[in-house]
């Protein structure tokens, strides 16, 4: 359990803030967001590789080119959630690329800090219990409350409208990662489902410190993905709010028609 997990939890809360603002987790992994696309074998005959298509809104202005998208996307999110919270949470460079790579890696063990789209939550990691039997201090949960409040106040329909407008850019970056499935919204829904499957853990949550960093004492918790660990780390009440927003977002994302 590292300090880098501070921004992962705020990250759960793109998929919660773009997935209902954006996601920001961390431990490091050799993610290469600029990897060129590679050839992918065609799907078996009759298999529909796109499960949840995203349709463009008729008459809507096209998204800007990827290299010129940071400021327009930042402004769109600021218009939705408010300039102050967006400035507080978002890292305004490479928003599309970092969002896609982070979402894609949330179900894995680690998410590279260098590709995070959001800033770390403030404050230091706190432990309770005793030196021989440390626990996750409930004081940590309050650090995520500003992000969760912003998430709750974000209009899901308007968020999805921004997502749809910029979807061609998300798809462009996702294809550049060079691995199947090749449709980003399908991956988005898959990641949301993964986060929703995060177990609910009653406190106190026991920790161990085999080295410099803390880990969950329960091997089953420690074996969870970066995204699931982040939901647990932000506390049951905050996690429940994020999950409810994710359910609402999922319904909106799978309801799109080609």
SS3 content of the chain, % helix, strand, coil (to 5): 50, 5, 45
Contacts of 77 by beta carbon, 8 Å cutoff, 6+ apart: 18, 21, 86, 90, 162
**Rounded Cα distance, 239 and 230, in Å:** 9
CB 166 within 8 A of CB 90: no
pLDDT at 121: 79
pLDDT of 166 > 70? The answer is yes
**Looking at the predicted structure, is the pLDDT value of residue 40 above 70?**
no
With respect to residue 145, please indicate whether it lies within any of the assigned structural domains.
yes
The answer to the question of residue 207 being in a domain is: no
Domain annotation covers residue 247: yes
Which pair of tokens denotes residue 239? Answer: 């996690």
**202 pLDDT exceeds 90?**
no
Q: What is the pLDDT of residues 7-16, one digit of tens each?
A: 454 445 445 5
pLDDT at 17: 52
Mean pLDDT of 166-179: 92
47 in any annotated domain = no
Task: State yes or no: pLDDT of 5 exceeds 70.
Answer: no
What b-and-e string marks burial along 166-200, b requiring 16 or more CB atoms within 10 Å of the CB?
bbbbbbbbbbbbeeeebbbbbbbbbbbeebeebee
Residue 218 within a domain: no
Element housing 14 (H / E): none
The answer as to whether 214 is a domain residue is no
Does residue 155 have a pLDDT over 70?
Answer: yes
Residues whose CB is less than 8 angstroms from the CB of residue 93 and which lie 6 or more positions away in sequence, other chains included: 70
- pLDDT band at residue 159, thresholds of 50, 70 and 90? very high
Q: Are 183 and 51 in contact (CB under 8 A)?
A: yes
pLDDT at 187 over 50: yes
3-state secondary structure of 175: helix
Structural domain span for residue 20? 5-30+52-125+140-200+226-254
Average pLDDT rounded to a whole number, residues 143-160 = 90
What is the total count of domains within the chain? 1
For residue 8, give the nearest of 238, 247, 225 by alpha carbon.
225
Q: How confident is the model at residue 73 (pLDDT cuts 50, 70, 90)?
A: very high
pLDDT at residue 179, rounded to an integer: 72
pLDDT the model gives residue 255 = 81
pLDDT in tens, 91-144: 889 999 999 999 999 999 877 666 667 777 788 888 999 989 999 999 889 999
Quick check: is 100 in a domain? yes
**Taking 90 as the threshold, does the pLDDT of residue 37 lie above it?**
no
Which tokens go with 218?
A: 């329960």
Higher pLDDT, 125 or 174: 174
At 235 the pLDDT is 92
Q: Is the peptide bond before 181 cis (omega within 30 degrees of 0)?
A: yes
Residue 101 lies in a domain: yes
Q: Residues near 107 by Cβ (< 8 Å), separated by ≥ 6?
A: 190, 191, 194, 225, 227
The predicted structure's pLDDT at residue 65: 96
C-alpha–C-alpha distance, residues 14 and 99, integer Å: 7
User: d(Cα 222, Cα 233) in Å, to the nearest integer?
Assistant: 12
Mean per-residue pLDDT for 9-32?
42
Per-residue pLDDT at 160: 92
């Amino acid at each position: 359990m590292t300090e880098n997990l501070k921004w992962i939890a705020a990250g759960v809360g793109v998929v919660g803030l773009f997935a209902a603002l954006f996601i920001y987790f961390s431990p490091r992994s050799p993610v290469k967001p600029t990897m060129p696309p590679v050839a992918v074998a065609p799907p078996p005959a009759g298999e529909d590789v796109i499960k949840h298509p995203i349709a463009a809104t008729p008459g809507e202005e096209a998204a800007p080119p990827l290299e010129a998208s940071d400021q327009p996307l930042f402004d769109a999110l600021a218009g939705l959630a408010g300039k102050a919270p967006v400035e507080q949470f978002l890292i305004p460079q490479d928003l599309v690329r970092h969002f896609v790579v982070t979402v894609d890696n949330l179900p894995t063990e680690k998410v590279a800090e260098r590709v995070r789209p959001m800033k770390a939550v403030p404050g230091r990691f706190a432990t309770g219990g005793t030196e021989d039997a440390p626990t996750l201090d409930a004081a940590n949960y309050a650090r995520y409350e500003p992000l969760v409040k912003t998430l709750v106040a974000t209009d899901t329909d308007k968020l999805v409208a921004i997502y749809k407008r910029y979807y061609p850019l998300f798809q462009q970056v996702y294809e550049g990662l060079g691995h199947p499935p090749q449709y980003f919204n399908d991956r988005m829904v898959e990641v949301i489902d993964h986060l929703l499957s995060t177990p609910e853990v009653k406190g106190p949550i026991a920790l161990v410190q085999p080295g410099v960093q803390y880990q969950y004492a329960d091997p089953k918790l420690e074996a969870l993905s970066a995204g699931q660990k982040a939901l647990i780390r932000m506390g049951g009440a905050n996690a429940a709010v994020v999950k409810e927003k994710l359910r609402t977002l999922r319904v909106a994302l799978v309801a799109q028609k080609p």
